Amino acid sequence: MTTPPYNSQPLTPHTAPQGPAATYPAGSPQSPYGYGQPAQAPMPGCRVCGAHPAEGFTVRAHQGLLVVMRFEKLDGPFCRTCGRAVIRQMTTRTLLLGWWSPLSLVAITPFTLLWNLVAHRKFSKLPASTPAPGRQSLPEGTPVHRRPVAYVALIPAAWAVWAITGLITHAG
Ligand SMILES: [Zn+2]
């Protein structure tokens, strides 16, 4: 007779503890490999046309219509051309529709316009870019101050001046 089945291999220690503890998570600060700053990792190009360099900055628009307020934002990265195109579109929309609720008039719309002014500076600092093969950047279009709708903004501005003047002259 052959040996009874008592020969079952007990725990084979060399295959035992191979848990996930041995692997480092990719971006962990304990990672033993010290190559470069992780921030220098592949910088994404413009989200519209894929061009480099691109700036990761958000462009905003605001609409305030009596009780309905609408906040819009488009996150970058955008290249110089697309960034400025988006700013023009969203700023024009804000100038047109941003004034028609009280809170928008005094706070949100001025903030939005200021924000886009900062964005415009940032994107204007980028060098001119070439879209990735097969893709197109946005047309920049007419500057905001040459678009007639932008001057709708003069109406609430004039109203505000008129209202304040009225308050002063009727006071006391
Ligand atoms: Zn672009």
CA–CA gap between residue 24 and residue 31 (Å, rounded) = 6
Amino acid at 113: L
Q: Which residues surround ligand 1, an ion (CB under 5 A)?
A: 46, 48-49, 51, 79, 82, 137
pLDDT of res. 114: 94
Q: Quote the DSSP letter at residue 106.
A: I
pLDDT mean across residues, the chain: 79
Q: Which two tokens stand for residue 95?
A: 């100038």
**Of 24 and 158, which is predicted with more confidence?**
158
Closest CA relative to residue 92, chosen from 146, 12, 156, 132:
146
pLDDT tens for residues 49-104? 999 999 999 999 999 988 889 999 999 999 999 999 999 999 999 998 998 888 89
Q: What separation in Å is there between the alpha carbon of 58 and the centre of ligand 1? A: 14
Q: What does the pLDDT read at residue 171? A: 67
| Distance from C-alpha of 145 to C-alpha of 64, rounded to nearest angstrom | 21
> Domain-by-domain residue ranges, the chain?
44-166
Q: How far is the CA of 163 from the centre of ligand 1 (A)?
A: 43
Distance CA 77, CA 137 (A): 13
CA of 138 to the centre of ligand 1 (A): 7
Q: CA quadruple 75, 79, 80, 84: dihedral positive or negative?
A: negative
